[in-house]
Amino acid sequence: MNKTALNPSLANFDHLPDNAHLRPKDCAQLLGISIASYWRLVSKKQLKAIKLTERTTSTRAGDLRAFIASRVGA
């Protein structure tokens, strides 16, 4: 994973509304995984992704929180 600092707009992830849309790169960064791992989770239907346009995909903050919670409890 790229060792860049967390996107400042994601520093308040806990305060984002559940319906806020996050781009795949941001989700991967929040999870601490590579972008390829993010797409693997999506393809296995372990993480929900929404197609906003032909070239734009996002994951809702609430879905990402639910995924994280399911992993912490596992």
Question: Residue 71: enclosing H or E segment and its boundaries?
Answer: helix 61-72
Q: Is the pTM of this model over 0.85?
A: no
**Three-class DSSP category at 12:** coil
C-beta of residue 1 within 8 angstroms of C-beta of residue 28:
yes
So what's the pLDDT on residue 74?
60
CA distance 8 to 47: 23
Give me the residues of the chain with pLDDT under 50, please: 1-2
pLDDT digits (tens, 9 = 90+) for 34-51: 999 999 999 999 999 999
Residue 26 vs residues 64, 70, 73, 74: alpha-carbon distances, Å? 11, 19, 23, 23
